[in-house]
Amino acid sequence: MKFTKMHGCGNDYVYVNCFTEKVDHPEETAILVSDRHFGIGSDGLILIKPSDVADFEMDMYNADGSRGAMCGNGIRCVAKYVYDNGLTDKTRITVSTGSGIKTLDLSVENGCVKTVRVNMGSPVLEAEKIPVVSDTSRVISQPITVAGKDFFYTALSMGNPHAVVFLDDVENLKIEEIGPEFEHHRNFPDRVNTEFIKVIDDHTIQMRVWERGSGETLACGTGACAAAVASILNHKVSSRKVSVLLRGGELQIEWAGEGQPVYLTGPAVTVFTGEYPAGK
C-alpha cells in the first residue's frame, strides 16, 4: 500500500490515495499503521476516495480503528494532497465526510498548498444530537464529576462530540489520567473528544486535547473549533476570531454566532511517502 504521511499542527495521519490503492480492512489497517514502534506511526488513517456528491471523499479512522465522522486537521491535508498531486487544479474544493460536505479554500505558494480555510459547518448544541446525557437541553458550563473530581464543561458537536473544560493551568494537567476518564464517561454514549482550555486574552486560548480513539494529540481541528465556540458562548473571549495555541502549532477559528458556520484556517504539511508493509 503506497501512503503519504502528513500533518496539520502535528496531528499526523497516514493518507492513502484510494483512486489508485485499495484498503480492504481500514479499521485493522488504522491500528497497524498508527503504531509508533511497529508501524508507520500516526494518530490514525485517512483514505482519500472518489465521490459522487463532492470533489472528493475523506474516510477517517482513529488510531484505535474507530471511524471518525470529521477531522479538521485531516481535511486540510486531504486538500493539500489532491492539489499537490494533480488530482485537482481548483483552489476551492468540496470534500464529503461522515458529517456532510465541507467546502475548502486552498492558499497556494510555489505550486503547493500551504494553508487551507475550511467551512466546518455550524456547531450542534442540542444535547441529544451531540450526543450527551444531560437533564438540560444544552450543556453550557454544566457540572460533571470525572474520576472523583468536579469540573464544569460545555458540550457540542462539530460533526463529532466534544467536551470543553476551562482550567487555570493546562501545562501541568495530567491529561493521560483524566483524558480517558472523560472519553469513557457515562455522559457520552459515543465517547467524546475533550479539550482543556486556558484563556490567554480576549482572542487567544491555549488548548490541550484528549481525542476519542487516539489519546492526546498535538492538535485537533474540530476540537479547536469546539473550544473557540465554547469560549464565545461562555464569554471567555470577546472576539469572534480566536487564535488557538496548541502543542503542535496555532489554528485560527472564526464564528459569527449561533446558526453561523465555524471557519478553521491552518497549515497542512507533507512529511514523506512510502510503501507499507515494505517490500521483502
Ligand X SMILES: N[C@H](CCC[C@H](N)C(=O)O)C(=O)O
Active-site positions read: 71, 220
Pick 110 or 254: Cβ nearer ligand X? 254
Taking the least distance from each CB to ligand X, the nearer of 3 and 188 is: 188
Q: Which of residues 137-166 bind ligand X (CB under 6 A)?
A: 160
Q: What is the DSSP string of 1-19?
A: -EEEEEEETTEEEEEEETT
At residue 130, the 3 state secondary structure works out as coil
For the segment 72-111, give every residue that binds ligand X (CB under 6 A). 72-74
Task: Note every long-range contact of 177-184, with CB atoms under 8 Å and residues 24 or more positions apart, other chains counting.
Answer: 177/147, 178/146, 178/147, 178/149, 178/210, 179/210, 179/215, 179/216, 180/210, 180/215, 181/146, 181/147, 182/146, 182/210, 183/210, 183/212
The contact mask relative to ligand X for 207-246 (x = CB under 6 A, - = no) is ----xxxx--x--xxxx-----------------------
For ligand X, the closer CB: 154 or 214: 214
Kindly determine how many residues on this chain lie close enough to bind ligand X according to the rule CB under 6 A: 18
Among 47, 71, 124, 197, binds ligand X (CB under 6 A): 71
Instruction: Please give the helix or strand (H or E) that residue 216 lies within, else none.
Output: strand 215-217
CA 247 – CA 12 distance, rounded (Å): 13
- Segment interacting with ligand X, rule: CB under 6 A, options 66-74, 83-91, 197-205, 265-273: 66-74
- Give the Cα separation of 159 and 229 in Å (integer): 14
Grid cell listed for 73: 486537521
Cell of 70: 470529521
Say whether 17 counts as a known binding-site residue: no
Which of residues 4, 11, 99, 157 is near ligand X by CB under 6 A?
11
Residue 121 interacts with ligand X (CB under 6 A): yes or no:
no
- Residue 68 touches ligand X, criterion: CB under 6 A: yes
Binding region for ligand X (CB under 6 A): 11, 62, 68, 71-74, 160, 193, 211-214, 217, 220-223
